[in-house]
Amino acid sequence: MVAAYTDPTKRGEGINLFVVERGTPGFSVSRKLDKLGNRSAETGELVFEDCRVPARNMIGGKEGGGFAQLADTLISGRITYGARCTGTAQAAYDLTVRYAKERVQFGKPIVKFQNTRFKLAEIATQVDVMRTYTYRVAHLYDQGKNVRKEAAMVKLFTAEILQKILGLCMQIHGGYGYMMEYPIQRFWRDGRLYTVTEGTSEIQRMIIAKELGL
Ligand SMILES: Cc1cc2nc3c(=O)[nH]c(=O)nc-3n(C[C@H](O)[C@H](O)[C@H](O)COP(=O)(O)OP(=O)(O)OC[C@H]3O[C@@H](n4cnc5c(N)ncnc54)[C@H](O)[C@@H]3O)c2cc1C
C-alpha cells in the first residue's frame, strides 16, 4: 500500500492510498535494508520511477481521503505499540529476573543485592502501568471514542519507558548482556525502534500538545 499525492498543492487533502502490485512497471524493491533489530521482519527500500497506477487501485471511493484513512490506521497502530512495548518489557523483565537469580557474585545471587531488587521492583511497577494504560486506551478505542490524543500518549509513554527498562535489564546482565549469546541484547536492539517507527516520540508530543489545545 502506498500513500501518494494526487494533488500536492492541497497538502494533507491531496493524499490518497493505492494498492501497487508487485510487477507494476516502474515499481521495484531496490534493496533489503540491514537493520540493527527486528530482523525477523524484512524492511525493503521501494523505488517508484515513472510508475503509473490505475485509478481503480485507489483505496476508498473519495479522492483526497487518504490522509484520514492513514490517521485512522495510525490511531489503532499506536495502541498496538502500547501492547508491543509492554510485551517487550515483560519479556525483558522475566529474562532479567531469571538471570539475577542464577548469577552469583560476592557469594550470593545478584538478586539478593538491594540494588538489583530495587531496579526489578521499579521495572515490575512500570510494566504494570504500561499494561494497564494500554488496556485503558484500547478499551476506549473499542467503544468508538476519539482517542487520537490517548493513542499518541500510550505510544509515547510505553516506548520511552521501555528504553529505560531495557537499559536497566542490560545493566543487571553486566558484561554477559552485551554478548550475542544472551537473549537480552535482542530485546534491547528490537525495542530501540519503538520511539522511532509509527511516528517518533517527538511527533507524538506534537500531536498531544495540539490535542490539548496548547
Ligand atoms: C525498521 C523500520 C521499519 C519501518 N517501516 C515503515 C513502513 O512500513 N512504512 C513506512 O511508511 N515507514 C516505515 N518506517 C519509517 C518510519 O516511519 C520513519 O523512520 C519515522 O517515521 C521517522 O521518520 P524519518 O526516519 O524520516 O525521521 P525524520 O523525520 O528525519 O526525523 C529525524 C528526527 O527529527 C525529529 N523531527 C522530525 N520532524 C520534526 C518536527 N517537526 N518537530 C520536532 N522534531 C522533528 C524526529 O522526531 C527524529 O527524532 C520504518 C522505519 C524503520 C526504522
Nearest CA to 194 out of 150, 166, 146, 155 is that of 155
Residues 176-196: tens digit of each pLDDT: 999 999 999 999 999 999 999
Which of 15, 43, 81, 197 maximizes ligand 1 atoms within 8 Å of its Cβ, making it the mutation to test the pocket? Answer: 197
CB of 19 shorter than 6 A to ligand 1 = no
Residues 135-176: tens digit of each pLDDT: 999 999 999 999 999 999 999 999 999 999 999 999 999 999
Q: CA geometry: angle at 91 spanning 198 and 148, to 5°? A: 30
Select which of 42, 49, 63, 198 is catalytic: 198
The pair phi, psi for residue 145, each rounded to 5°, is: -75, 155
Rounded to the nearest angstrom, the distance between the alpha carbon of 136 and the centre of ligand 1 is: 27
Examine the residue annotation and report whether 198 is marked as an active-site residue of this protein.
yes
Q: Are 133 and 159 in contact (CB under 8 A)?
A: no
pLDDT, the chain, mean:
96
Joined grid coordinates for residue 25: 512497471
Rounded to the nearest angstrom, the distance between the alpha carbon of 197 and the centre of ligand 1 is: 6
* Structural domains of the chain, ranges and CATH numbers in brackets: 2-57 (2.40.110.10), 66-211 (1.20.140.10)
Below-50 pLDDT ranges, the chain:
none
CB of 140 shorter than 6 A to ligand 1 = no
Q: How far apart are the C-alpha atoms of 98 and 94, rounded to whole Å? A: 6
CB of 196 shorter than 6 A to ligand 1 = yes
What is the predicted pLDDT for the residue at 14? Answer: 92
Strands (E), the chain: 2-5, 15-18, 27-32, 44-48, 104-105, 108-109
Say which residue the cell 487518504 belongs to. Answer: 66
